[in-house]
Structures are given as C-alpha cells and as structure tokens.
Chain A
Amino acid sequence: MVDIRSGADEVIPLAEVEDVELYHPKSWWTHYVFSQDAKIIAIQYSLTATAIGMVALVLSWLIRLQLGFPGTFNFIDADHYYQFITMHGMIMVIYLLTALFLGGFGNYLIPLMVGARDMVFPYANMLSYWLYLLAVLILAAGFFVPGGPTGAGWTLYPPQAVLSGTPGGQDWGILVMLSSLILFIIGFTMGGLNYVVTVLQGRARGMTLMRMPLTIWGIFTATVMALLAFPALFVACVMMLFDRLLGTSFFMPAIVEMGTQLKQGGGSPILFQHLFWFFGHPEVYIVALPAFGIVSDLISTHARKNIFGYRMMVWAIVIIGALSFVVWAHHMYVSGMNPNFGFFFATTTLIIAVPTAIKVYNWVLTLWRGDIHLTLPMLFALAFIVTFVNGGLTGLFLGNVVVDVPLSDTMFVVAHFHMVMGVAPIMVIFGAIYHWYPKVAGRMLNEAMGQIHFWVTFLGAYLIFFPMHYLGLLGIPRRYHELGETAFIPESAHTLNMFISVMALTVGAAQILFLFNLAWSLKRGRPSGGNPWRATTLEWQTPQTPPTHGNWGKELPVVYRWAYDYSVPGAAEDFIPQNQPGLGVPTREHAS
C-alpha cells in the first residue's frame, strides 16, 4: 500500500540533494540591511508591518474618540474622520495582516519548516521587501501631501474616490494610495513566487507534501491565492489612476459636480466593485488560511496531541482557497444585481461554511483529552477558535441576501468583519509570536506581561465588538462621522458607544505593553534553548538558535515522519522530531 523504503529504525545516509548556492553577505550592509537571508527579510517585514500597524492602531483610537465622544475633539472633522477610517482599514488589511502573515511568517517559517537553506530566489526576496517598504513609505507620505490621505473608504469605490467631495479625491491622496498599492502588489508578486517555488522545490529529503506542517499548507495556499487575486486589485488601481489623471471613463459615469458636468461619462462603477471584490474576498482567506495553519500547529504542540484529521485539514484548506474565488459578489448585494446572481453567491458563500466548520471541529477534537498546556500561544489559539466561530456565525447572517440588505450599512457589518478578519487573525499573530519568538531571539517572552496582554486584549476585544453587533441591530449606520439627534437611536446607544471607545483605548494600550515585552525580552528574557516547546517540526531542530545563515549547518535535515508525532506510545519522549528516524534518542544533539 505504502512505499516505505526503509525500516523505522534505519538511519538513512544524509543529503544526496545538491545544495543550493547561498549568497554570502560581505559587509554589515548586505548582512543586516540589504540582506538576502529570508530570516532577516522576515524580521524586516515584521518590523515594518508593526510600525505601520501602530499608525493604524492610533487611527482606530481617533475613530473611537470621535464615535464615543462626538463633538469633543475639534480636530476630527468629517474629512479627517473619513481619512482615518480609510487609512485604518487599508493599513490593517493589506500592509499589516497580509504583509505580516506572508512576508513575515512566510519568510521566516517556510525555509525552516520545509528544511531548506533559504528561499529559492533570495535576490527577488530582498527586492520584495524593499518594494514593500517603499509602498509603506508612500502610503505614510499620504498624511503629509496637500489635502491629506484619501478618505474614500478602504474599498476606494469610484466615482466618489476621485471626486472633489471626498478628501484626497482631487488632491494627492488617492494618487498616493493607488501608487502605493501598485508597488505593494509588484513587491508581493516577487515574494509570492519565492514562497510557492520554495515549497514546491526547496523541501528537504523525505518532506512530502503530506508531511508538511499545516502552517506551511496555509501559507502556501494563501500565497497561490494572493498571486491570482492581487492582479485584480492591480487592474482596478491602474484603471482608476487613468480615470483620475488622464480623464478616461473606465469607472466614471456621467456626473454633474458642483453644477458642472464632468467630461467623463458612461463608465461603470460596478465594474470596479467586481474587480475590487474579486481581489477583496480572496484577501479575507489570504489572511485566514495562514492563521488556520498556524493555529493548528499551536494547538497540536501545546496540547501534546497529533492534529485530528490532518488529511481533512489539508483538503479543507485547498477547498476553502478554491471556493473563495467564486463568492466575491456577496459584498455587492446592495449594489444592485440580478437576483439569480445573489442566489448563486449566497449559496457559494454558505458552502464555504462546510470546510471551515470541519476545521473548527478538528481543532476542538485535537484538544479533546489532550494534555493542554495553557501557555500563551495556547491561550491565543483558544481565543482564536472562539472568536472565529463568533465571527463566522454572523457571517452566516450576512451571507444571505435578505438579511444582508437591511444590515449591510450598519455597525453589525463592522462588528462581523472585525471579529472574523480583525481580532481572529490578530490572535493568531500574537500566539505565533509568543510561540516562535524563542526561535528568533533565543529567549522567551516575559510570561507575566504576556498574561496581562492576553487577558486585556481578549476580553477587551469582546467588550468592543459584542456590543457593536447590538448597535448594528438597532440600525446604527456605519461610516457616519456623527449620529446627531435621531429618533430611532436611544440615549443608551450613545452610552454604549462611549463604553466601546474606552475599551478600544484600553486594548490599544495593552498592545504597547506587548511591544515593550518584545524589546525587553530580547536582552532580559529567560534563555529558551533550541526547542522550548518540545515541538516536532524542523524549525526547532536547527543546530543553532537563532538559526544562522543557511539554517542547517553542514547537512540538510532528512525527514522521516509527519509533523504531529506527539505522545506516541513507546517513544522515549512525548514528541518525536520530524528528522528523527526511530522512537529513541535524537540523532542530533540540540545545541541551545
């Protein structure tokens, strides 16, 4: 049945595979700045994403200050408010989540987890980061150009995005945003090619696809999706740039603006929405799939139990990836479309719930009778599961056309997507950082600070977004700068808004503690050793911690087993590393 070429205890001679040529840095600059080492690039990606993410965090504070205490902060007028929500959304979705999961975790983990020395195209990988940095800088420059950044909403819907009534529409804002996105996409394509080809061609001997950790499956599938979905955003951005700069009418219908008829006309705003959401929906899963994969590994490691239903987990990842390309128009129920389309897209949307639910069941069944260690990564993984289930359930509401139409423009949608796409992936990011920081830094993150960070973030996020669902059901509209005196909005809604704002400030402050912990533990953290979590996957089996350039010393690892051999009966320890042939003593000493 199975082609197993050697007995379990036989040690196989190492590496017949030829080594890749490694680029060896010659100076400090090529070592730390213009580095071609995926690990350094990963850290560069992560730091840049965190830095711009902090900007988005501050913006969310400002948004909440305005919503909780309208009229108190004079500098947040309507224009500024729209600029803040636009930049907050765009930064969080693209420049933070996408960049951190794929550029950060992808770069760090892919070569280490598949047993490669580095990415297959290190030079393109370096270019990818520098283009990303350039994109971030251009985006941030939006705050300083005449007219400020664009206030079109993160979806940048035309025609309003390029009209003078929208902040940045006829100024620089929208141009800055579009050019930054175009650069991001070009940069991402360079990185994405690397991630895909490294998984395909860089795997160590014995690392079949079905032995890859689910983290790699998630990142791999998400990258394939991103490579196919980002071109849609690229096309939309290019065409909108032409509309804005050169007066074409791809998206611009006939418009009378301030009493004057614009030259443009006949264009289709719906066309933009199709292109945008053809990217935008897969984007949700581009963020979610790496999170799914990482959380599977965290749960398995910290519950000392093999992942339940590995094969089904892999299939579910692939099926979710495929389905996410045929659901995009569920973001357009209120844009007006053929009812048959609505029916089709509602059906495909609800079908995605099936593989997703399979994954949730499998996580829970992995925990069932496991030896659960409530470490920080595990806490965050558990928080992810409940948050994702919560966000997913409201997704079932919004996936149906008739329910979506009345709820679409309310805070309910804001609460839904922040739960499912904001809080849930961020929980995984935190869990993953607490899990892999010892490998990156050689030291553990401080536990006490981590506990405070976890409980404030987790409970706080619920206190922010649970009441927001209720506000949405009351009919409180989203995107409004100020609610004013409206008959259907009770006084209690304002009080609730104030409460949410206070919570948002608190949760934001907890993130500063987290950043402090990252810096503090770098020097003062407890030394972790090479494999503090006693995990099986290859990145914990490197000869040095942190891994040096080339990852593996002289010989590449050989993989003898899948990634989830925890608590195997008869084994010497409760975990068997992937590169260990038999049940007994490891073949290689774990230097710390």
Chain B
Amino acid sequence: MSVMLIFLAGIAAVIIWWLGQQRLTSRPWLEVGLVGQPGGAERSPIPPVKIGLYVFLAVVGALFSLFISAYMMRVGTPDWWSTPIPRLLWLNTGALIVSSVAMQWAKTEAQRGRGDPMRAALLAALVTAILFLIGQIFAWRELTQAGYVLADNPANSFFYVITGMHGLHILGGLIALGRTMTRSWNGPVTDRVRLNVSLCATYWHFMLIVWLILFALFAGWANDFADLCRQLLT
C-alpha cells in the first residue's frame, strides 16, 4: 500500500496547505459582522466545475494508486512472469502525448478567442486520443496472439485490467470532449467554451501522466522503485 500512502501524503499536503488559509485558529465566537476578504469573497474565484474536476482527479488518482499498490504487492511472487511490452505501446504513448499537446494548443487558442484554430486543435486531440484507444486494442490483440492471455499469469492480468481501466477513463474523457466540441462548433468562443476546453485539457494532461506512470510500471522501470520500497518495509 506504499504507493497509495505516498499519494495520500500528497493529497494531505494539499489539504493542509488549503486549511492553512482558512483561519482555522480564528475565534468565531468573538467575530460578529461580516468577516473575510473585501467583497465577501469567502469562496475562491475558481469556478465550481474546475474544483469539481480537481476533486474528481484526486479520486481517479486514488483509484490508480490503489491499482499500482496492488500491483506492487503482487509483483515478484514466484508465479510472476513479466509481460513483454508490445512495440505498439510506444506509438500509442506518442499518440497520447500529441493529443495532450493538441489540447494545450486548443486551450491557448480558446483563451485568445480564436475559434477556428481552437476547433482544429480539438479535432486533432480527439482523433489522436481515439487512435490511442484503437492502438491499445491492437496491443491487446498482439499480446493475446502471442499467448499472453488474461488469466495465465498475474502480470498479464494486471496489465489488461489496469490498461482497460485507463482506457475507460480516456473513453469518458472523449465523451466530455465530444460534448464540448458540439457546443463550440458553430458559435463564438464564449467564456463557457473557454472553461470547458480548459477542463478537458486538465483532464487530458492528468490521464497522460497516469499513462506515463503505468507505462513505466509495465516496462519494468518502476521495479527498482518497488525494490526500494520493499527494502524500506522489510
């Protein structure tokens, strides 16, 4: 559970930092009247959906941290043979990086209020993300055809389950992106569109980071880290 605890420590740091700004040592029983910043802005200026997304990302982060924790606890048992990494995964990783870059581009264009380049960038992000998903399915097929099927070995099981879970999250992101695109396709770049595009971009970057960590895990680069963790704990 070490990975999950590290993740939680990160979350705890954010919470402590935030609580630190909330005047937790104030004496509310003495303070009558309107307290706080000028204008009564007790809430932060960030729009609620954005905070909602951050909280959601914390939940998704916890989910993958737990999967990785489980992986770490299972890895190295005598029946574990590492699954080879199909070459295709490199290509998929590339597609996802391009997708993320395109989303960032779309975000910049949206902030400048330029509709056409923004739509082009969104389209590019959508297409590359779909390519990533198709590529993942082909990677699965490649593995199964090479005999690495789901139930034969725990390494395979973890590989399919975790990549599947990541793929589902990308799929969910595609639905959100699709809605953003249909809303922004014909109109001007409103604040609403700007916000939605920036939310999609945040989600995209987050899922890219998750994927890079997972890729490192499957490629075995994370094993050194796992060894280190085990040494610390035993």
Contacts and interface: CB of A to CB of B under 8 A. Distances in A.
Interface in B151-185: 151, 154, 157-158, 161, 165
Contacts of B151: 246-249, 263-264
Contact of B74 (A209, A234, A268): A268
Given A242-B157, A266-B78, A250 B34 contact: no
B70 A239 contact: yes
Interface stretch (A71-79, A196-204, A391-399): A196-204
Contact of A5 (B38, B63, B161): B38
A329 to B, nearest CB: 9
A120 B30 CA distance: 31
* Interface-centre pick from B30, B40, B43, B56 (highest chain A CB count, 10 A): B40
B52 A234 contact: no
* Interface-centre pick from B33, B157, B165 (highest chain A CB count, 10 A): B33
Contacts of B11: 228
Contacts of A338: 234
Interface stretch (B17-25, B124-132, B135-143): B17-25
A227 B59 contact: yes
Contacts of B59: 189, 192-193, 227-228, 231
Contacts of B147: none
B39 interface: yes
Contacts of B12: 322
Contacts of A263: 151
B85 interface: no
Interface residues of B, number: 57
A208 interface: yes
B150 interface: yes
A324 B161 CA distance: 29
A581 interface: yes
A268 B48 contact: no
Contacts of A264: 151
Interface string A112-124: 0000000011000
A7 B43 contact: no
Contacts of A275: 66, 70
A6 B35 CA distance: 8
Contact of B51 (A6, A201, A560): A201
Contacts of B29: 306, 310, 562, 564-565
B34 A560 contact: yes
Interface string A221-256: 000100110011011001100100011111000000
Given A203-B43, A208-B35, A235-B70, A315 B154 contact: no
A345 to B, nearest CB: 12
Interface in A363-395: none
A2 B35 contact: yes
A557 to B, nearest CB: 12
B227 interface: no
Contacts of B4: 232, 278
A558 interface: yes
A5 B33 contact: yes
B14 to A, nearest CB: 11
A418 interface: no
Given A249-B154, A267-B154, A7 B52 contact: no
Interface string B30-62: 111111101110111010110110011011001
Interface of B: 1, 4-5, 8, 11-12, 15, 19, 22-36, 38-40, 42-44, 46, 48-49, 51-52, 55-56, 58-59, 62-63, 66-67, 70, 73-74, 77-80, 150-151, 154, 157-158, 161, 165, 234
Given A197-B51, A210-B26, 16 more contacts: A12-B34, A121-B48, A197-B52, A197-B55, A200-B51, A206-B40, A208-B26, A208-B36, A248-B154, A249-B151, A267-B154, A274-B73, A306-B29, A311-B25, A315-B24, A558-B40
